[in-house]
Amino acid sequence: MPLLKSWVESANAADCPFPLNNLPYGVFSTGTLQPRCGVAIGDVIFDIKTAESAGLIAVTDGAVFAKPGWNAFMALGNTHWVALRKRLLELLAEDSDEKDVLSELLTPMSDATMHMPFQVTEYTDFYASRNHAFNVGTMFRGAENALPPNWLHIPIGYNGRASSVVVSGSDIRRPWGQLKGPNDDLPRFAPSQRFDIELEMGAIVGNPSDGPLTLQEADDNIFGYVLLNDWSARDIQAWEYQPLGPFQAKATATTISPWIVTTAALEPFRCDAPEREYDLLDHLKDTGPMLFDIDLRVTLAPEGQDASTIAETNYNVMYYSAAQQLAHHTTSGCSMRAGDLLGSGTISGPEKHNRGSLLELSWGGKEPFTLETGETRNFIEDGDTLNLEGRAKGDGYVIGFGDCIGKVLPALDDPYNRS
């Protein structure tokens, strides 16, 4: 599909992350506007709440965008998703008749503060990149036992914490936790020394469901995608994870990018999952291309210094699609709600520079890597700013997600001192 031209000139640049083809959904505020739903177009944000009250868009008879979040709209289902996108494409297209009225509903992105685009009702995190699972398994259990026996048959995951999900730009405080290093006789309570990122994509469930979903139903129920950084304390994780999986190691924060890029905008970038070593059981068997070709990049900027690229990969390396994760999630009868967030799991490709975590990039801290500033890293240091970037490349346009950024602040001297 070629670039769709808009009367918002900045949206027509070949490298603009928010062309008319994208139309991602977020929540923004300014000094004079309370938080509200908006759509990114070029370098401005279109105020959906005001457009609805002015009668320029009518999703239903009532006000869908009265609250600052996209959950109510998501829950309306695919017919309404298609209708709103169609209306926005008309209003913002180059030949729109409504330019003069609409111009007053645009806010420069540079004046806006971004908020959580939706209320995260539940958060589940998966482990679906074969290279990542193999790398981590090799470090923890040796290459012979790297992939757990279930791994090639089900997309394994665990239930995370919706309360820990924050929007891009939120500072991240280095956590304290219980740790036990190889030379410690007993565990101790201390700040994490092996604090890390996980480069992931987050899939957002739109349609609620109550019972098992087919793979096609699961794919249809995914409203859109965000970038997701699942901050991880590796030393806390190593001590606590057996036998029930990660707990406090993953509960500090998970950062998401502020714009929901809809599945509709990503349609031209669909691609197949990799070859299967074993046929998947029927309810998980691939029925069409349900992964997406999205270039991904991680940068790290030490305090006061320029950012270095530390990893580059693509979402297309995943072994399981978000649709397969959602279908698997519902097999037990588990109900899903609008705003359910599914983390893909760390996305690592086959080469060293494709690894989506510092744990892998430094091979458990044994092989420090060098930044463009000349500094080296094993894990995150205080003052480091980590950012994730995602881009799908179309014919003369790109689809971007916005930043997924967080700065790591030093651990508190005493986390129980409330003065």
What are the catalytic residues? 132
Nearest to 71 by CA among 35, 27, 107, 106: 27
290 CB-contact burial (10 Å; exposed 0-12 / middle 13-18 / buried 19+): buried
Which 94-133 residues touch Ca ion, going by CB under 5 A?
125
Percent of the chain as helix, strand, coil, to the nearest 5: 25, 30, 45
In 200-259, which residue ranges form alpha helices assigned H by DSSP? 215-221, 234-240
Q: Which stretch binds Ca ion (CB under 5 A): 225-233, 279-287, 317-325, 373-381?
A: 225-233
Q: Give the nearest distance from C-beta 233 to Ca ion in angstroms.
A: 12
Q: Which two tokens stand for residue 335?
A: 């109900």
How far is it, in rounded angstroms, from Cα 273 to Cα 264? 19
How far is it, in rounded angstroms, from Cα 199 to Cα 293? 15
Q: Give the nearest distance from C-beta 345 to Ca ion in angstroms.
A: 6
Beta-carbon contacts of 253 under 8 Å, excluding residues fewer than 6 positions away, are: 164, 165, 166, 170, 172, 231, 406
Nearer Cβ to Ca ion (125/384) = 125
Q: Give the nearest distance from C-beta 343 to Ca ion in angstroms.
A: 5
Size of the site for Ca ion (CB under 5 A): 3
Nearer Cβ to Ca ion (36/132) = 132
Q: Which stretch binds Ca ion (CB under 5 A): 58-66, 165-173, 230-238, 286-294?
A: 230-238
Q: Which two tokens stand for residue 248?
A: 């406090």
In the set 47, 52, 196, 230, which binds Ca ion (CB under 5 A)?
230
Q: Which stretch binds Ca ion (CB under 5 A): 196-204, 267-275, 325-333, 399-407?
A: 196-204
Q: Which stretch binds Ca ion (CB under 5 A): 81-89, 193-201, 259-267, 270-278?
A: 193-201
Any contact of residue 196 with Ca ion (CB under 5 A)? no
Nearer Cβ to Ca ion (122/198) = 198
Q: Give the nearest distance from C-beta 237 to Ca ion in angstroms.
A: 10
How far is it, in rounded angstroms, from Cα 246 to Cα 303? 29
In contact, 118 and 339? CB cutoff 8 Å: yes
Nearest to 238 by CA among 249, 225, 222, 229: 249
Nearer Cβ to Ca ion (230/403) = 230
Q: Give the nearest distance from C-beta 75 to Ca ion in angstroms.
A: 26
Measured CA to CA in angstroms, residue 62 lies from 35, 65, 73, 176 at distances of 20, 9, 11, 47
Q: Which stretch binds Ca ion (CB under 5 A): 16-24, 79-87, 227-235, 379-387?
A: 227-235
Beta bridge partners of 335: 210
How far is it, in rounded angstroms, from Cα 251 to Cα 130? 24
Q: Give the nearest distance from C-beta 255 to Ca ion in angstroms.
A: 12
In contact, 2 and 20? CB cutoff 8 Å: no
In contact, 139 and 364? CB cutoff 8 Å: yes
Counting Cα atoms < 13 Å in the Cβ hemisphere of 364 gives 11
Q: Give the nearest distance from C-beta 208 to Ca ion in angstroms.
A: 24
Q: Give the nearest distance from C-beta 123 to Ca ion in angstroms.
A: 10
Any contact of residue 360 with Ca ion (CB under 5 A)? no
Nearer Cβ to Ca ion (219/230) = 230
Nearer Cβ to Ca ion (107/254) = 254
Nearer Cβ to Ca ion (198/340) = 198
Beta-carbon contacts of 383 under 8 Å, excluding residues fewer than 6 positions away, are: 302, 303, 304, 407, 408, 409, 410
Any contact of residue 198 with Ca ion (CB under 5 A)? yes
Point out the residue whose Cβ comes nearest to Ca ion: 230
Nearer Cβ to Ca ion (52/198) = 198
Residue 269 dihedral angles phi and psi, to the nearest 5°: -110, 15
Compute, in degrees rounded to 10, the torsion defined by CA atoms 337, 343, 344, 348.
170
Binding site for Ca ion (CB under 5 A): 125, 198, 230
